[in-house]
Structure 1
Amino acid sequence: MTIRIDRRQFLVGSTTLMAAGAMGISPVLSQEARLRLLFWGGQARADRTYGVTDLYDKANPGQVVEGEFLGWGDYWPKLATQTAGGNAPDIIQMDYRYIVEYADRGAIAPLDDYVGDVLKLDDFDQDQLDGGKVNGKLYGISLGANSVAMMVNKAAFERAGVELPGKMTTYDDLKAMAEKFNAKGEMKLIGDGSGSEPMLENWLRQKGKALYTAEGKLAFDEADATEWFAMWADLRDAGVCVSAEDQALDTGPLETTMVTLGKAAMIPSNSNQLVAFQAINQDEITITNFPRIATDAPGGHYRKPSMFFSVAGKSNDKESSAKFISFFVNDKDAATVLGVERGIPCSASVRDALAPTLDDQSKIALNFVSNLGDLLAALPPSPPAAAGEIDSSLLRTISQEVGFGARSPEDAGPALVSGAAEILARAAS
């Protein structure tokens, strides 16, 4: 006699397992090869992910994938702790900004030896394959292509009598749009994007610059950073964006964003998050591009790997982990479960099979990424090690200090550049 322990019953504790042993029962848990999967996201992503792990378990008797998810803010500290303690999960959801750091430390393993064998990538988009490479080796398998996007409360725009922003909307246009929102008094036009690394990067790319060079150095200067903070200070003073007090309520989860809290009609986000935002918002949500700095500005968007699956450097079963990743990105039934919540599938055949099955919101996300037009430019190099610290600690802290009046933009610009340079130098030493 055996007992099948479902993932949602797994954490019943050692007492239950001991009791089973005392009864002469041999749990399947001791017989099955188990892979641990850790990912960030909300309940909607978890439900989709567990739907696919269930499919995989059924298709591969004797193998069980046990998943665990956390919010973005809690995910990275836990992964860092587990990695440092030699207890990292076998399969790790990885982000573009951290992949170099984890690869250089040996915390994730190169997957090249499995390609063409248990890991099938025959019709994968080349830009998505390239995005998962570090120093020429493949460390991450893209789970979907996406782009930065403004998450837009379509119903709020309709109530305010304001035309939805689009491909030609500029930062200067925001003030005129905000006047009607302020007159309505329901919410501000936009969240405070001064602490958003993706929004800063997009703005810099439109100016012909970037966040980082291919060598991992800063690619912008103090004047750029000062102009950035000054622009947002002006938008804040004009009532275009939310107050610093309101923005501070955004602690990372989608539930605390300015759109979900009803504080702003649009915020910077990513195209693949449209499905998740709609799931927790009663108003209809749509997406559009980031504002332009001018109507003739070059494109600042790019098709970014939304996230990767990587295999832990110390995993005891790298081959099985690679096999699961291959199933996750190639199986047609898995694609139907996943939709485009993690981005547009990178396999052309999977994409073609999925498209007819999508709901309206998912089709919006797919069409957005597929039709960026002149907004689309080349994928930048992978961020250097410690880029995540510059984003999550330095940029966000300085933006809050400016918002609360503790720093001027003229002070904040040099502080961002010098602080970022110091973090990069420390990481490289």
Structure 2
Amino acid sequence: MNRRTLLAAGAGLAAGVALGGMPARAQDVRMRCTWWGSAERLRRTNEVIALYNKQHPEVAITGEQIAGSDYWVKLATAMAGRSVSDVFQLEPSTLSDYSGRGACLPLDPLLNGAIDLSKYGAGDADLCRIDGKLFGVTLALNSFAMLYDSAALKEAGLEVPKEQMSWEAFAEFAKAFKANGPKKRNYWAAPYAARYGYVLDIWLRQRGKRLFDGGSIGFDVEDAKAWFGYWEDLRQNGACVSADIQTRDDETIETNALTLGNAAVGFAYSNQLVGYQKLNKGTLELGMVPGIPGAPSGHYYRSASCWSIGATTANAEAAGRFISFFVNDVEAGKILGVERGVPPSSVVREAILPLLDETEKKTVAYVEFLKGKVEANPPPAPIGANEFSRNVLRPTADAIAFEQLSIADGAQQLVENGRAVLRGRT
């Protein structure tokens, strides 16, 4: 897929919208929709697709959920074969990458026509705008969160404060859990979060820096030393999961140490509470990720995920109408709930609030609680951001945890390889 292909597709789309387009025959309107997520997301998304197919018999949409890292492998294969799905899911750290590589159709020609975002809050529609062009439709809003098993913490005589605790207090909290918590094999307070890019992002923002800045990484070796040093202190004191446990985590709900029963605390996105609660016996609660007293919280509202349209689709307007239905239809909203996050449409949000269960209400309450505590949304992640997290940060953190690299060498490697990956993709 190259620039010429993308420009041609965009020009064809613009012409089609301007002229009203040619109606396709019923049997010709067949589309594919792909996404990643938990079993709960699979159920809800398929129900919405079935509802749309029922209301629009002239359109046949086939849905497919792809698990974990396989999603990105299959997306890369589809790009190489020019067969990206008509509608596919991305999120903030991957939108720049895949739109920059020509996978996504610019959606501006479809706005106020096939796609209606008039009920979105101020700025919400622009969360998926890259260099002035809209490449995705935000499906929901969320923020970062600390999920925890309240019963396990209570047994240890601990509780998470309503307001943001400090990183120092969290370290003492994790060590106290080791001493007083449930005596189960391979069970700790927290994950080894050194390998989580989104937690590192918060850590850096609290210190006036960013994970990414100006198309490259936004931190230096000293920042990386402090980051790895914090988590190594916890690991070496038995306050967070061991290296062999943590490396099982493929950054999915199913593989997280909290779900696997190896940690009482997990770091995730607020909307994921719904999926986590489905797989956890204990009652889970939400709290802020730790911070620095008197400093910015590091939190911000983000696009939980978005629908993009494949650049080579033959059904751009039909895909746009399905996306518009997905985010605006009240019945669809009732099915989706807040599993992906809080709906950006004010109409949908107001309609579903009375219908939410206790877990879902917690996610909405958390997003509301963060008002006044969040910062401005950062610029879109640069091309290569996803590769940095998966192929640079995670392997480096794992090597340090397995004591194959020193903290100093790991910090140097993170900075050098991070810059190289992003430089090679810009």
Check whether TM > 0.5.
yes
Segment drifting more, 176-185 vs 134-143? 176-185
Aligned-pair identity in percent equals 35
For the 8 Å contact 1:148–1:268, the answer to whether it is kept is: yes
**Number of the residue aligned with 2:383:** 385
- Secondary structure at the aligned position of 2:212 is classed as coil
Counterpart position of 1:168: 164
Deviation at residue 324 of structure 1 after TM alignment: 0.1
SS of 1:273 mapped into structure 2: helix
CA contact (8 A) 1:298 1:374 kept: no
Q: Identify the residue that residue 208 of structure 1 maps to in structure 2.
A: 208
Q: Is the 8 A contact 1:98 1:387 kept in 2?
A: yes
Q: What RMSD, in angstroms, separates the aligned Cα atoms of the two structures?
A: 1.5
- State the SS of the aligned residue for 2:31: strand
Q: Residues 168-317 of structure 1: matches in 2 within 5 Å?
A: 168-183=164-179, 184=181, 185-186=183-184, 187-213=187-213, 215-292=214-291, 294-317=292-315
Aligned to 1:333: 331
Residue 81 of structure 2 is aligned to residue 85 of structure 1: yes
The equivalent position to 1:372 in structure 2, one of 346, 370, 373, is 370
Shift of 1:331: 0.2
- Residue 375 of structure 1: how far off its partner (Å): 3.1
What CA distance in whole angstroms lies between the structure 2 residues aligned with 1:38 and 1:70?
7
User: Which of 408, 411, 414 is the equivalent residue of 1:410?
Assistant: 408
Paired letter, 2:239: V
1:374 CA drift (Å): 4.6
Residue 274 (structure 1) shift = 0.4
AA in 2 matched with 1:43: A
Q: For residues 159 and 421 of structure 2, what CA distance do their matches in structure 1 show?
A: 42
Amino acid at match of 1:182: K
Alignment of 1:89-104 (within 5 A): 89-104=85-100
How many residues were matched structurally? 398
* TM-score, normalised relative to structure 2: 0.91
What amino acid maps onto 1:242 in structure 2? Answer: V
Listed as ranges, the gaps of 5+ residues in structure 2 are 1-24
Measure how far apart 1:408 and its partner are.
1.2
1:32 shift after superposition: 5.6
TM-score when normalising by structure 1: 0.90
How many angstroms apart in 2 are the aligned matches of 1:399 and 1:421?
16
Find the residue that maps to 1:98 and give its secondary structure. helix
How has the CA–CA distance of structure 1 residues 280 and 130 changed in structure 2, closer, same or farther, with 3 Å as cutoff?
Answer: same
2:15 match: none
Given candidates 106, 113, 117, the residue that maps to 2:109 is 113
| 1:254 aligned counterpart, secondary structure | coil
1:394 aligns with 2:417: no
Q: 2: CA distance between counterparts of 1:128 and 1:75?
A: 26
Q: Are 2:69 and 1:70 aligned?
A: no
* Residues 192 and 247 in structure 1, CA contact (< 8 A), matched pair in contact too: yes
Confirm or deny that 1:157 pairs with 2:153.
yes
Letter of the 1:90 counterpart: D
Q: Which residue of 1 aligns with 2:54?
A: 58
Note if contact 2:145-2:289 (Cα within 8 Å) is conserved in structure 1: yes
Q: What SS does the corresponding residue of 2:30 show, helix, strand or coil?
A: strand
Give deviations 1:360-406, integer Å, cap 9, x for gaps: 11110011112214531011111111111100110000000110101
Equivalent residue number for residue 349 of structure 1: 347
User: Retained in 1: the 8 A contact 2:164–2:289?
Assistant: no
Aligned residue in 1 for 2:131: 135
> Could you tell me which amino acid in structure 1 is paired with residue 333 of structure 2?
A
The worse-fitting range, judged by mean Cα deviation, of 257-266 and 167-176 is: 167-176
Comparing 198-207 and 161-170, the one that deviates more: 161-170
Letter in structure 2 aligned against 1:314: T
CA distance in 2, matches of 1:310, 1:117: 16
- Counterpart AA for 1:76: W
Corresponding residue for residue 11 of structure 2: none
Find the aligned partners of 1:133 and 1:216 in 2 and give their Cα distance. 16
Residues 164 and 288, structure 2, Cα contact 8 Å, conserved in 1? no
Following TM superposition, the consecutive aligned residue runs of length 4 or more in structure 1 with deviations greater than 6 angstroms are none
- Whole-Å Cα distance in 2 between the matches of residues 130 and 72 of structure 1? 27
Structure 2 Cα separation of the partners of residues 168 and 96 of structure 1: 24
Amino acid at match of 1:318: A
**Cα deviation, residue 45, structure 1:** 0.3
8 Å contact kept, 1:175–1:238? no
2:121 to 114, 125, 133: 125
Deviation string, structure 1 residues 166-203 (Cα, Å, up to 9, x no partner): 42311111233234422333321110100000000000
Distance change >3 Å, CA 397–CA 165, structure 1 → 2: farther
Aligned partners of 2:175 and 2:237 also within 8 Å: no
Segment drifting more, 55-64 vs 246-255:
246-255
Residue of structure 1 in register with 2:360 after alignment:
362
Give 3-state SS (helix, strand or coil) of 2:413's partner: helix
The verdict on how the C-alpha distance between 1:238 and 1:207 changes in structure 2, with shifts beyond 3 A counting, is same
Read off the aligned partner of 1:88 and give its amino acid letter: V
The letter for the 2-side match of 1:50 is N
What do the CA deviations read for 1:198-221 (whole angstroms, capped 9, x no partner)?
0000000000111112x3122111
Matched, 1:43 2:39: yes
